Amino acid sequence: MATISNAKRWNELCELQIQVMSNMAEQFPQRRESLAQICEGWRNVTEQLKLDKIPIIK
């Protein structure tokens, strides 16, 4: 199993990115779908961190 020494910080950054993208989606409804996909990517990274895996971004 891979470990990430700064996983807590990565998780904080992911949560911040999700919050920023969600706020942008409220301000730019025409971009909501694209921003939702970006949020989903950050959520996937967060889940991988919780499973103690090295995040893979597609």
pLDDT, tens digit, for every residue of 1-58?
455 568 888 889 999 999 999 999 999 999 999 999 999 999 999 998 888 777 766 6
DSSP letters along 4-35, please? -TTHHHHHHHHHHHHHHHHHHHHH-GGGHHHH
Predicted local distance difference test score (pLDDT) of residue 3: 52
Predicted local distance difference test score (pLDDT) of residue 4: 54
pTM exceeds cut of 0.85: no
